[in-house]
Amino acid sequence: MYRHPASPHHERPWHSTCSLRRVRIAQISPLYESVPPLVYGGTERVVSYLTEELVRLGHDVTLFASGDSRTAARLVPVVERSLRLDTDSVDSLAHHILMIERVRQMVHDFDIVHFHIDYLHFPVSRLMGLTQLTTLHGRLNLKDLVPLYDEFTDMPVVSISDSQREPLPQAHWLGTVYHGLPPDLFSPDPHARGDYLLFVGRISPEKRVDRAVEIARRVGLPLRVAAKISDVDRAYFDREIAPLFEEPFVEFLDEVNDHEKGPLMAGAHALLFPIDWPEPFGLVMIEAMACGTPTIAWDAGSVSEVITDNVSGFIVNSLDDAVSATERAATLPRDRIRREFDERFTVNRMAKAYLDIYGALLGRPADTVAAGTGRND
């Protein structure tokens, strides 16, 4: 899915390079997790899906990431291993600044540079006049960001939901591109018993796993929790959440990888997404959708853009609503939920949307870059 507002980039005449179908693309990933991550990690996971699909479509892709990443693209390893797994790493910013310098040194190797590291590169990109794009993956409703985006109105950026961009209307938005997954990554389980509820994500105040525990208590179903606990949230977990996990109907699974996550999601009665913050996208919702599993989600942030109410799940505003929706989750046909995923959230759709934007930035018609030299289905 890709929508763009009117932009001066779309008014440029097409250049003589429009006959070129293969684009040299650099993807710049955060270094906190490998690409793809071993367990938890949303941004790096999306960067992986996009990178591999662009390679599959025949483009020349270079990935700047940690050295333990796995990719069919050319890998430029900036650190030996992902920073979260490197217990000796103290200053993560130093490695990201070094990565920006590596990009600068190689910039003539690329037609376009696609950043996924927020605003760190903005001053360098401006000085170089770089043909580049930034996908903003995090929350933007922070007052500290307002003067930054007041200044850097020339930096072309993409949102991952329309709701994400609302706090920063002054930014140079080129479009919204929803995340996408490989269609064969997850699949429904026709033999699923649906006898438990599921929470997948991280333990933090805004994710509200406490609501998930209360929903499970009221509907009388076990709750499985597959979640990351970061150092910054450890005190919150110990104080607020750990006592809830002592309930006999709650099973804490820690973080899970994709091989574990697929069957876990496909076998659930419903995924609970009881957030209390403006979620920029919520990758776990489309992961559940790919498994044919309905999602019960609070109406905040991107939820109403991702979940189609009464089709792929239920959108709620209170615990009572959530309990009622959870009890009705089995009425949603799982094959229809999976079809919603196939129609809206595949990696191929995501990659083609980005290729449309690359084409606009490069001054090329979209159909000269979207196909690459490989299969385009």
Q: Using one digit for the tens of pLDDT, what is the confidence trace for 324-360?
A: 999 999 999 999 999 999 999 999 999 999 999 999 9
Of the pLDDT bands very low, low, confident and very high (cuts 50, 70, 90), residue 18 is very low
Of the pLDDT bands very low, low, confident and very high (cuts 50, 70, 90), residue 114 is very high
Q: Using one digit for the tens of pLDDT, what is the confidence trace for 26-52?
A: 999 999 999 998 877 789 999 999 999
Domain map of the chain by residue range?
2-180+346-368, 197-342
Q: Report CA 26 to chain centroid distance, whole Å.
A: 18
pLDDT of amino acid 19: 33
CATH tag, 2-180+346-368: 3.40.50.2000
64-68 own/partner pairs: CB under 8 Å, 24+ apart: 64/26, 64/27, 64/28, 64/29, 64/99, 64/102, 64/103, 65/29, 65/31, 65/34, 65/35, 66/29, 66/31, 66/33, 66/34, 66/35, 68/34
The pair of structure tokens assigned to 96 is 């990201």
pLDDT of amino acid 368: 55
Fold match, 2-180+346-368 / 197-342: yes
- 96 vs 230, higher pLDDT: 96
Residue 217: other Cβ atoms inside 10 A: 15
The pair of structure tokens assigned to 369 is 């870059």
What separation in angstroms does the CA of 175 have from each of 2, 6, 93? Answer: 6, 10, 28
Instruction: Kindly state the average pLDDT of the residues 224-248.
Output: 93
pLDDT of amino acid 84: 83
Of the pLDDT bands very low, low, confident and very high (cuts 50, 70, 90), residue 101 is very high
CA distance 291 to 334: 8
Q: Report CA 226 to chain centroid distance, whole Å.
A: 18
pLDDT of amino acid 160: 98
What is the SS3 assignment for 1? coil
pLDDT at 376 over 50: no
Do 1 and 177 touch, CB atoms closer than 8 A? yes
User: Domain 197-342 - what CATH class?
Assistant: alpha beta
Q: Using one digit for the tens of pLDDT, what is the confidence trace for 189-204?
A: 988 889 999 999 999 9
pLDDT of amino acid 88: 83
Q: Report CA 88 to chain centroid distance, whole Å.
A: 28
Instruction: Kindly state the average pLDDT of the residues 125-153.
Output: 96
